[in-house]
């Protein structure tokens, strides 16, 4: 990975005008997408692993890429169980040495993994969304987590939710969505990583002189936010 990285280019100059409508829709309409069998299997492995950690507080690293942040978070919190989830087998397979015993990397689709986690009653104490894909085209709002139908599930899991991005607007939109959905105040703040970058993308953007942004919010565990419950109704499964 080189140290040069281009800033996000988008025709959007402010929060997407359709954001509030999409959030309202996610709060009203159940997400019916069937659960993929491979993510069910991956989740069941993660659940077994977590059970063996004997009630250790859970930290989720959602979209962990190569898993460096998962490793670092596990090293910083040896009493916690840290689960990194990413759908890219290629990224997850890059060898960065032995993982700490309290860390697990899982290949899964987050949209399904989050729903299974909520249905299982997981309550992460910390939940990281580190440099999610920005999808800067306005037409792709629904692919950003704040415009995605899975948003209520992300928020319902609760805990200390931290989003980081090199695109300020992404964090600002996410803040608006958090407040609309939960009533909890949230705002984008500048992030100066100092010497220790948490992820390779953070390292790359920082080394390229880009400004970094983050949002940190404490959320209650609130399964009632999710219309129709966390999982698709019987008969809608894959």
Ligand X SMILES: C[S@@+](CC[C@H](N)C(=O)[O-])C[C@H]1O[C@@H](n2cnc3c(N)ncnc32)[C@H](O)[C@@H]1O
Q: Interface residues with ligand X (CB under 6 A)? A: 63-65, 69, 85-88, 91, 109-111, 130-133, 199-202
What stretches of the chain adopt beta strand conformation (E)?
A: 58-62, 81-86, 103-107, 126-130, 159-165, 189-191, 212-219
Q: How far is CA 72 from the centre of its chain?
A: 17
Query: Alpha-carbon distance 12 to 203, whole Å?
Result: 25
Length, in residues, of the chain: 238
Question: Please, what is the minimum distance in Å from the beta carbon of residue 134 to ligand X?
Answer: 8
Comparing CB distances to ligand X, the nearer of 133 and 189 is 133
Comparing CB distances to ligand X, the nearer of 174 and 201 is 201
Question: Any bridge partners for residue 213, and if so which?
Answer: 165, 190
Comparing CB distances to ligand X, the nearer of 50 and 92 is 92
Comparing CB distances to ligand X, the nearer of 1 and 24 is 1
Question: Please, what is the minimum distance in Å from the beta carbon of residue 132 to ligand X?
Answer: 6
Question: Please, what is the minimum distance in Å from the beta carbon of residue 128 to ligand X?
Answer: 8
Which SS3 state, helix, strand or coil, does residue 209 take? coil
209: left (phi over 0), alpha (psi -120 to 50) or beta: left
Comparing CB distances to ligand X, the nearer of 166 and 182 is 166
* Chain residue whose CB lies nearest ligand X: 65
∠ CA 206-134-166, rounded to 5°: 20
Question: Please, what is the minimum distance in Å from the beta carbon of residue 40 to ligand X?
Answer: 14
Q: Which burial class, exposed, middle or buried, applies to 141 when counting CB atoms under 10 A from its CB (0-12, 13-18, 19+)?
A: buried
Question: Please, what is the minimum distance in Å from the beta carbon of residue 183 to ligand X?
Answer: 27
Question: Please, what is the minimum distance in Å from the beta carbon of residue 93 to ligand X?
Answer: 12
Comparing CB distances to ligand X, the nearer of 47 and 179 is 47
Supply the DSSP string of 48-84, one letter for each residue: HHHHHTTSPPEEEEET-TTSHHHHHHHHH-TTSEEEE
Comparing CB distances to ligand X, the nearer of 36 and 184 is 36
Give whole-number Cα distances, 1 to 197, 202, 204, 208, 225, in Å.
14, 12, 7, 12, 39
Question: Please, what is the minimum distance in Å from the beta carbon of residue 164 to ligand X?
Answer: 8
């Amino acid at each position: 990975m080189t140290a040069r990285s281009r800033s996000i280019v988008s025709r959007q100059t402010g929060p997407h005008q359709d954001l509030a409508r999409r959030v309202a829709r996610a709060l009203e309409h159940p997400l019916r997408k069937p659960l993929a069998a491979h993510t069910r299997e991956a989740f069941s492995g993660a659940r077994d692993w977590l059970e063996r950690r004997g009630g250790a507080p859970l930290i989720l690293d959602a979209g962990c890429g190569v898993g460096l942040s998962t490793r670092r978070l596990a090293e910083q919190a040896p009493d916690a169980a840290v689960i990194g989830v990413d759908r890219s087998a290629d990224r997850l397979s890059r060898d960065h040495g032995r993982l700490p015993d309290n860390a697990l990397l899982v290949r899964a689709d987050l949209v399904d993994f989050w729903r299974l986690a909520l249905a299982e009653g997981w309550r992460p104490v910390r939940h990281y969304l580190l440099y999610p894909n920005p999808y800067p085209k306005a037409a792709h709002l629904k692919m950003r987590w704040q415009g995605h139908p899975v948003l209520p599930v992300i928020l319902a899991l609760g805990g200390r939710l931290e989003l980081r991005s090199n695109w300020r607007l992404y964090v600002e939109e996410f803040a608006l969505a958090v407040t609309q959905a939960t009533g909890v105040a949230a705002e984008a703040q500048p992030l100066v990583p100092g010497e220790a970058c948490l992820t390779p993308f953070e390292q790359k953007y920082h080394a390229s002189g880009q400004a970094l942004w983050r949002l940190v919010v404490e959320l209650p565990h609130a399964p009632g936010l999710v219309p129709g419950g966390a999982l698709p109704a019987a008969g809608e499964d894959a």
